[in-house]
C-alpha cells in the first residue's frame, strides 16, 4: 500500500521503538537524492541494460575499454555526490542507539560520510581499484587522472550519468587506452562485486553475525531483486524476525514482509527520527 509521509513516519517510528536493534539493509534508492541514478523502476524492472558481468569484464578487453571509457565520464556523479537526508537520518538512528548494523548494497560510501559507523559495504566500494593478479591497490581518482591523460579525446566527452559511476555513452571504444597494474601489468578492477561475482565470505559472515544480534530488519530503498541482499531478508524471516521495507515500489521480499511503507524515503525517515526524538524528550 501507499502511505502518506506523516503516517509512514509515525508508523516507522513505532516499529523502531518496538525493535530497537535494527539490522538495516539499504539500496540505490537511498542515494538517488544524492544525484546517483538507480537501476530499477517501481516494479523492480531494469530501467536500462543490466550492468557489466564479472566474467565479461575479466575475459574481454573490449568490455573493459567500454567500461573505463564510460566511467571516465560517469564517475564524477559518485565523486561529487553529497549525502542525502536519508543518509543523515540513518546516521541519526545509529547515534540514538537504534542500529545494530547497517549493510549497504551501495558502493558510494555516503553512509560513512553521513556519520554512520556500523556499516558493511556488502558490494564493496567504488572509490578503490585493485589488481586482480597481485592485489595492488590505488584510489579510483588516481587511475582516472592517469587514463584522462592517456585518452584526452574521451576525457573531453560528455554524457548522461548512469548508476554506479557509469555513463550513457555509445561510441567506438576500440582506441581507448586502459591503465594496467603498475606493479605487474595485471587487470585493474574497481573493488566492487559485479554481477556474476560473489560477496567475499568474511563480509557476508559479518553481516550474518549482525543479523543474529538484531531484533528486526529494515530494508530501505531497495527492491531486493539481487540475491546477495534478499538472502538476509529470507534468513531473518526464517529466524522469526520482523522484516520491514521502506521503498517506492515492490520488492522481491514482499511475501516475507511484516511491515511495508511505499513512500518517499528521505521525508519518511526524517519524520521517524523527529518522532523518536520528541518521544525521548517526553
Q: What is the pLDDT of residues 246-257, one digit of tens each?
A: 999 999 999 999
Mean pLDDT for the chain? 93
Report CA-CA distances (Å) from 155 to 51, 147, 172, 180.
Answer: 22, 8, 14, 18
Can you read off the three cell numbers belonging to residue 176? 581507448
Report CA torsion sign: 21, 12, 102, 281.
negative
The CATH classification of domain 5-281, taken from the options 3.40.50.1220, 3.40.50.10490, 3.40.50.620, 3.90.1640.10: 3.40.50.1220
Q: Is the pLDDT of residue 163 over 90?
A: no
Rounded to 10°, the helix 85-95/265-281 angle is: 30
Decide if 123 is catalytic.
yes
pLDDT of residue 43: 67
pLDDT digits (tens, 9 = 90+) for 1-57: 456 899 999 999 999 999 999 999 999 999 999 988 776 667 667 656 778 899 999
Can you read off the three cell numbers belonging to residue 54? 564479472
pLDDT digits (tens, 9 = 90+) for 214-241: 999 999 999 999 999 999 999 999 999 9
C-alpha–C-alpha distance, residues 17 and 259, integer Å: 14
3-class secondary-structure state, position 214: coil
Q: Is the pLDDT of residue 181 over 80?
A: yes
pLDDT digits (tens, 9 = 90+) for 59-80: 999 999 999 999 999 888 888 8
Query: Sorting pLDDT into bands at 50, 70 and 90, what band is 173?
Result: very high
* Catalytic residue selected from 19, 123, 144, 161: 123
pLDDT of residue 3: 63
Beta-carbon contacts of 96 under 8 Å, excluding residues fewer than 6 positions away, are 273, 276, 277, 280
Q: Is the pLDDT of residue 245 over 70?
A: yes
Using the structure block, give the residue that is written with the C-alpha cell 567475499.
200
Q: Domain ranges in the chain?
A: 5-281
Work out the average pLDDT over 152-164.
Answer: 84
Residue 46 neighbours by CB distance under 10 Å: 11
Q: Burial code of 85-116, b = ≥16 C-beta within 10 A, e = fewer?
A: bbbbbbbbbbeeebbbbbbbbbbbbbbbebeb
Binding-site residues, please? 131, 134, 181, 184
Of 82-96, 130-144, 157-171, the one with minimum mean pLDDT is 157-171
Global pTM value: 0.93
Binding-site residues for Zn(2+), please? 131, 134, 181, 184
User: What is the phi/psi pair of residue 43, to 5°?
Assistant: -95, 5
Amino acid at each position: 500500500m501507499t502511505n502518506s509521509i506523516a503516517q509512514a513516519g509515525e508508523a516507522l517510528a513505532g516499529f523502531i521503538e518496538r525493535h530497537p536493534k535494527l539490522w538495516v539493509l539499504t539500496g540505490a534508492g537511498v542515494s538517488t537524492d544524492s544525484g546517483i541514478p538507480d537501476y530499477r523502476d517501481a516494479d523492480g524492472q531494469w530501467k536500462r541494460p543490466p550492468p557489466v558481468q564479472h566474467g565479461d569484464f575479466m575475459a574481454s578487453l573490449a568490455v573493459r575499454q567500454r567500461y573505463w571509457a564510460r566511467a571516465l565520464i560517469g564517475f564524477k556523479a559518485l565523486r561529487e555526490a553529497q549525502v542525502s537526508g536519508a543518509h543523515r537520518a540513518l546516521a541519526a538512528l545509529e547515534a540514538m542507539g537504534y542500529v545494530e548494523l547497517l549493510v549497504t548494497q551501495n558502493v558510494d560510501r555516503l553512509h560513512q560520510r553521513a556519520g554512520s559507523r556500523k556499516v558493511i559495504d556488502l558490494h564493496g566500494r567504488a572509490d578503490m581499484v585493485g589488481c586482480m593478479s597481485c592485489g595492488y591497490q590505488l584510489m579510483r581518482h588516481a587511475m582516472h587522472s592517469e587514463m584522462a591523460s592517456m585518452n584526452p579525446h574521451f576525457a573531453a566527452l560528455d554524457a548522461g550519468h548512469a548508476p554506479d559511476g557509469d555513463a550513457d555513452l555509445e561510441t567506438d571504444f576500440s582506441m581507448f587506452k586502459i591503465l594496467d597494474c603498475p606493479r605487474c601489468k595485471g587487470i585493474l578492477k574497481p573493488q566492487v562485486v559485479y554481477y556474476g561475482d560473489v560477496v567475499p565470505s568474511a563480509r557476508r559472515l559479518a553481516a550474518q553475525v549482525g543479523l543474529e544480534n538484531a531484533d528486526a530488519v529494515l530494508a530501505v530503498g531497495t527492491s531486493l531483486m539481487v540475491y546477495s541482499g534478499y538472502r538476509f531478508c529470507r534468513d531473518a524471516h526464517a529466524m522469526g524476525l520482523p522484516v520491514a521495507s521502506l521503498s517506492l515500489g515492490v520488492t522481491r521480499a514482499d511475501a516475507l514482509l511484516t511491515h511495508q511503507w511505499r513512500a518517499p524515503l528521505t521525508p519518511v525517515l526524517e519524520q521517524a527520527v523527529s518522532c523518536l526524538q520528541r518521544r525521548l524528550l517526553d
